[in-house]
Amino acid sequence: MKISKRIQGLTGGGSDGWDIYRRSRAMIADGKDVIELTIGEHDRRTEPEILTAMYEAALGGHTGYSSIPGISELRDAIAVRTTERTGIKTERENILVTPGGQAALFAAHMVACDPGDTGLFIDPYYATYPGTIRAVGAVARPVPARARFGFQPQWDDIAQDAGSSQSLLINSPNNPTGVVYSEDTMNTIVRAAQEFDLWLVSDEVYDSQLWSGTHLSPRQWSDMTERTLVVGSVSKSNSMTGSRFVWIIGPEEAIDHLSNLSTHTNYGVPGFIQDAAVFALSQGPEFEDRIAKPFRRRHAAVGEYLMSRQVKVVPSTASMYLMVDIRSTGLSGEEFANRLLDDHLIAVMPGESFGASGAGHLRIALTIDDERLMTAAAKITDMIQALASEAA
């Protein structure tokens, strides 16, 4: 039987960027003591009180078919959170709940793009972005955010292909760089969306991991609520990655169509998980700060250590990651990461996993205990300095 070109072409004919991760997991399965610094998975699991709420909801009978687009109490809680944090009035009618960020990003691009349309995305990007755009039958085209500009997207790079595109996907705070888009950058992005009549898809799942400065959502700009689709989540803010609970915020008409899509695809999120999410959101910013605290501490400690040893770190103010510049070694990020895994049993993500703009960099996930993390940082630093010395 013939397999569709769409499914065969999800990765664009190349790697999907997860090679190091898969290799490290295979080594761990073989009994090797690999220090795993690849994915953004909390080392502190979901809090017991959230699991208790989930358990009680399931025992109480909320195990049947899901409510689409989400139970009213939950959509109201998301609306309140959004309104309080952005100042933009948001109602339950603007919200759809969906199982996981990938489902949300796919759904958003189903709204924005017809088959053959072009969907733009900022590079560096989370590894699945281009495949998600291709999955809806659109053409995925990167917009470089260059290291020399601090990975802040520039007008000329956005405008180059915006006139022939239908959407732009952004991510701030950014994974992999940890960069938060400045007000000037957001002004540029909003101007492009309005001038070129683009849907703006804004992935804001790291909005609770902000170590300094202010998170800005494009919905805060005038006339942007009708062309913006925001993806938000409790995965990072409440350490609920495995619960697969995410929301999309958008104009009411788009949410109505997305509810129809959900009916024909995933049929929503299990009710007991929605109840647990209501409880999690009811705990407020203090709870989210508690979940974020270890990553704030590690971000500062590892960044200061690397810079004290003259390792170039991408300046960042958010997220559970640090991006390290290893171009002085003469190796690509992929070459360095493979050698690091083979020689020192430390797994990090090469910058190339996140696009051409990330080439020559590494992304280090700050997702293990502090002592083991600092041991890994020291070994990574030693290897960078040794290889840089050889290259010089």
Task: Kindly indicate the confidence band of residue 89, based on its pLDDT and cuts at 50, 70 and 90.
Answer: very high
Cis peptide before 124 (omega within 30 of 0): yes
Just give the CATH number of 5-45+286-391.
3.90.1150.10
Task: Kindly indicate the confidence band of residue 13, based on its pLDDT and cuts at 50, 70 and 90.
Answer: confident
Q: Using the predicted structure, report yes or no on whether residue 5 has a pLDDT greater than 90.
A: no
Average pLDDT over residues 7-33: 89
Buried b / exposed e across 274-307, counting CB within 10 Å, b at 16+? bbbbbbbbeeeeebbeebbebbbebbeebbebbe
Q: According to the model, what pLDDT value does residue 16 have? A: 73
Q: Using the predicted structure, report yes or no on whether residue 14 has a pLDDT greater than 80.
A: no
Q: According to the model, what pLDDT value does residue 122 have? A: 98
Torsion of Cα atoms, 383 then 386 then 390 then 392, to 10°: 100
Q: Using the predicted structure, report yes or no on whether residue 10 has a pLDDT greater than 90.
A: no
Q: Using the predicted structure, report yes or no on whether residue 17 has a pLDDT greater than 80.
A: no
With 0-12 / 13-18 / 19 or more C-beta atoms within 10 angstroms meaning exposed / middle / buried, residue 18 is middle
Q: According to the model, what pLDDT value does residue 12 have? A: 83
Average pLDDT over residues 260-277: 96
Give the span between the Cα atoms of 357 and 151, in whole angstroms: 8
Q: According to the model, what pLDDT value does residue 282 have? A: 97
pLDDT tens readout for residues 131-178:
999 999 999 999 999 999 999 999 999 999 999 999 999 999 999 999
In angstroms, how far is CA 173 from the centroid of its own chain? 8
Across the chain, how many H-helices and E-strands are there? 13, 12
- Name the amino acid, one letter, at 171: N
Q: What is 48-283's CATH number, 1.10.3720.10, 3.30.230.70, 3.40.640.10, 1.10.3980.10?
A: 3.40.640.10
What count of residues does the chain have?
A: 392
**Cβ neighbours around 206 below 10 Å, total:** 26
Task: Pick the closest to residue 364 from 383, 379, 381, 347 (CA basis).
Answer: 347
Domains in the chain: boundaries: 5-45+286-391, 48-283
pLDDT tens readout for residues 191-246:
999 999 999 999 999 999 999 999 999 999 999 999 999 999 999 999 999 999 99
Average pLDDT over residues 5-17: 82
pLDDT tens readout for residues 317-332:
999 999 999 999 999 9
